[in-house]
A and B are shown apart, each in its own frame.
Chain A
Amino acid sequence: MAVTNYSDAAREAVREAMRADDAVWCIGEDLGRGGVFGQYRGLQDEFGPARIADAPISEAAIMGAAFGAAIVGTRPIVEMRFSDFALCAVDELVNQIAKARYMFGGQSRAPMVIRQPMGMWRSSAAQHSQSLESWYTHAPGLIVICPSTPQDNYSLLKAAIECDDPVVYFEHKNMWGLEGDVDTAEAAVIGEARTRTHGDDVTIVSWSQTANFAVEAAETLAGEGIGAQVVDLRSLWPWDKNAVLDSVNKTGRLIVAHESVAVGGFGAEVVAIVSEKVGAALQGRVRRLGAPRALIAYAPNLENKMRVTAEMIVDAARDLMQKSKTKG
């Protein structure tokens, strides 16, 4: 495959996985017609309505039934339509799916992918715009993935489908049309970050759409002679601590940037680990960029107050550069 978009890259990953393994099937609302964002378009023609299955608007049953089907030998891909709606199925995801293997002493596995389209796109207000990825990092048993490019949405979705653990898979709704090169031969390892830019002055840790804003920021900073190293985590559990620690050891400055609410966001976990492990290298040169602890509005000017932008990342980096770096 050459250039494709974020949505089609995922569809190709699903198609290849379903061709390779009869146990893989998809369940969610409106999938037969392609899914609410078209990310399943054409798949029912190839695989039929049993494997690309239309579900009632019953999130708890979609999640719970997919889990039941997983523990008897199938490998469901669960479509939640909007990550906000997955909250109707949190018991099934957190109390059942995440815990089944452990509670039952290893007798069962739940090889599932739970696709949760996330994030702000356009005037969708407080119930269709959230970024809740950090919640699921708090639930042992789950893997959490947040791809930011078409390549990663292809490679990581394939890896997620092949994984025997349950994976919560966050695709950003604003990126469905994002185009990029996709090499179908490129496999991803869950838990390995991608270093998007290299630089010696500041480390920017991010994921999902905000990682792309961080790359934009790094390009701006490069024009000012500031070298930014963007570490796109790609997965939040497990996350690539070594990539982050190595980078911070080099730069001595850290920015974490994400779309979700800053308070209790996964950036806090990153900062905590970096502080514990290489705090001496940082000496307080840390910035955390996330949404205010407020709600996402419908009006575009109000909605924009919740956004973390490339400009904000640039400003944070400039500010950190004002703080002298005392080596050693």
Chain B
Amino acid sequence: MNQANFDRERGVKLLATMERIRAFEENAVLAAERDKLVLGAIHPSFGQEAAAAGVLWPLRTDDYLISTHRGHGHTLAKGADPIAMMRELLGREGGCCGGKGGSMHIADFNVNMLGANGVVGANITIGAGAAHGVKLQGGDQVVIDIFGDGAANRGPFLEGLNWAVVFQLPILFVCEDNQYAATTKTTSVTGGDGPAARAASLGLPTQTLDGNDVEAIADAVTETITRIRNGGRPEFLHVITYRQKGHTSFDQAAYRPDGEADKQMADNDPIQRQKNVLAAVGVAADEMQAIHDAAQAEMAGALQTAADTPFPDEALAFTDVQDVGSPVVEAF
């Protein structure tokens, strides 16, 4: 690392984003397991915070993001309100989606976050389409389309990537590879040389990065986004990270080799790694502790606020289905 050129301000902000993501998910898991306030499945991204913070770093608010079932981190990094997100996880009034979507369908169109998705890989074609819409309307926004390693084995991976190449669309596909497709080691169910090789075969420029090095990801994506915005052509990023916990908050992940997760948490935790980087350039431990404490306080507060918020009015069960043929109108 070149200490002279190190962007201290960015480094601290990246740490803060990762700390906020982790604190949000720690509180979400508490809400699920301790408080029994999150009733549905949530898919935490512990250990994957660098991918979210780094990839989203250079985006403008009007750039688009489309994400997966494991999307809390991406959504926070895009600028969504954690109180509205926590309310959504608890199914409360004022949730991002009015309590109708929950964790797997979090969306915040105020910051052009086009939605998490409960179907693996489905967001690949949809993201390509968002970029298609940008191009048709003459916009200069870029779409970031994040999916997991498991999605590379679904058909939309082929169809969506090919689509973006054929129509030359302003989109960055990001395969956030946490090495597990639900509860199965992804390499054990994947042929060939992996997601980047598949993307390259379709004509996309590809990069493979250490997914727990937030500085490297932010550097690479900043350059890549500029290239896409100026040239309007799709690219592909494979970031290799590690899911420290199970597929859902209920999953104890006993299928992993003994010691694998412990070693990852000890040696390759993205937050600790960034703290080490910042310490090396002279950021004080107190400052980093304050960032941690602020994130914890913010997200504990978000959980408390959400828990104090009522459930939605029952009449809302029938709104926003459709205008024509709405269940509000159709009496039968």
Contacts and interface: CB of A to CB of B under 8 A. Distances in A.
Interface in B35-72: 64, 66
Given A71-B114, A72-B130, A107-B108, 12 more contacts: A56-B159, A56-B166, A60-B155, A65-B125, A67-B125, A69-B130, A101-B320, A102-B321, A104-B96, A108-B109, A141-B321, A143-B322
B254 interface: no
Contacts of A56: 159, 162-163, 166
Contacts of A65: 125-126, 128-129, 132, 160, 163
A101 B97 contact: no
A164 interface: yes
Interface stretch (B133-141, B189-197, B289-297): B133-141
Interface in A60-110: 60-61, 63-74, 91-92, 95-96, 100-108
Top 10 closest pairs, chain A to chain B, by CB: A68-B129, A64-B125, A65-B129, A105-B98, A69-B133, A238-B325, A105-B97, A61-B159, A72-B133, A106-B320
A66 B125 CA distance: 9
A96 to B, nearest CB: 6
B223 interface: no
Given A56-B166, A101-B320, A61 B97 contact: no
A191 interface: yes
B136 A107 contact: no
A88 B64 CA distance: 27
Interface in A1-50: 23, 25, 50
Interface of A: 23, 25, 50-51, 53, 55-56, 58, 60-61, 63-74, 91-92, 95-96, 100-108, 140-143, 163-166, 190-191, 237-238, 241, 273
A233 B164 CA distance: 40
Nearest to A27: B132
Given A56-B162, A103-B105, A273-B332, A143 B132 contact: no
A252 to B, nearest CB: 21
Given A60-B156, A105-B320, A164-B323, A95 B119 contact: yes
B324 A143 contact: yes
B201 to A, nearest CB: 15
A68 B128 contact: yes
B115 A70 contact: no
A73 B138 CA distance: 12
Given A64-B125, A72-B64, A92-B125, A101 B136 contact: no
A67 B162 contact: no
Contact of B162 (A58, A70, A165): A58
B300 interface: no
Nearest to B95: A105
Given A69-B136, A91-B122, A96-B122, A101 B322 contact: yes
Contacts of B162: 56, 58, 61
A71 to B, nearest CB: 6
Given A68-B127, A105-B98, A95 B322 contact: no
Interface in B114-173: 114-115, 117-119, 122, 124-134, 136-137, 155-156, 159-160, 162-163, 166-167
8 contacts: A51-B136, A56-B166, A68-B127, A73-B137, A96-B117, A107-B108, A141-B321, A142-B322
A58 B159 contact: yes
Contacts of A67: 125-126, 129
